[in-house]
Amino acid sequence: MDQGAVEMKKLSHYDRAGSARMVDVSGKAETRRAARAHAFVRMAPAVLKKLPRNPKGNPLEIARIAGIAAAKRTWELIPLCHSLPLSHADVDVAIEKKGVRIVASAATTAQTGVEMEALTAAAVAALTVYDMTKALDKSIEIQDLFLLEKSGGKSGDYRRQGKP
C-alpha cells in the first residue's frame, strides 16, 4: 500500500477505497460541542482609520453578522459537513494596531463537532472585512485562520498552544 493510501485510511472522510464520503455519525451519542476559531485581517493604518466612516456601513458589524450567518450554513459550503442545529454562533471583531482580529465561536448539542462552523464564521467575517475595505487598499491580507479550541466529542478537548 502506498503512503497516500495509508494517510487516507486514517482520515474519517475517506472510505477504504480512498473515495471521499460523509462520515456516518448516526451511532454516536449527542453531546455538547463547542469551538472557537481565529482570523486576522492585516491592513494599513490609513485603512484602519477610515473604518468608522465607511460609506457601505460599519464593516465590523457587517462582518460579525456575515460570520454568524456563515456558521449556520457551513453544511452548504463544505460538501461533507453535517447540517447542525447550532445553539450558539457569535463573532467578535476588534481593531488592533495592524488590522482586525476576529474570533468566532459556535456550539451545539449534537453527534459531531462544530470546528468547521467556527472556522467558516471566522473566514467569512474576514472576507467581509476585506470586501468592505478593498476600495481603499487591494493589498489587505487575510492571515492566520486556525482553530483556537474545541470541546466535546470522542477526540476530547483541544486548545491551540502559542498564538492567540
Q: What is the pLDDT of residue 16?
A: 77
Q: What is the pLDDT of residue 17?
A: 76
| Positions of E strands within 46-87 | none
Q: What is the pLDDT of residue 55?
A: 77
Cell numbers standing for residue 103: 474570533
In the block, which residue shows the cell 455538547? 32
CB-CB contact of 148 with 47 (8 Å) = no
The CATH code of the domain at 28-159 is 3.30.70.640
Instruction: Tell me the whole-structure pTM to 2 decimals.
Output: 0.87
Domain boundaries, the chain: 28-159
* Residue 118 pLDDT greater than 80, yes or no: yes
Buried b (16+ CB within 10 A) or exposed e, 10-44: eeeebeeeeeeeeeeeeeeeeeebbbbbbbbbebe
Q: What is the pLDDT of residue 8?
A: 40
3-state secondary structure of 75: helix
> pLDDT tens for residues 3-35?
444 444 366 766 777 777 777 788 788 899 999
- Residue 144: what residue type? D
* C-beta atoms surrounding 96 within 10 Å: 11
> pLDDT tens for residues 48-88?
998 888 777 889 999 999 999 999 999 999 998 999 999 99
In the block, which residue shows the cell 460609506? 55
Q: What is the pLDDT of residue 163?
A: 62
Query: What are the catalytic residues?
Result: 131
Cell numbers standing for residue 164: 492567540
pLDDT band for position 38 (50/70/90)? Answer: very high
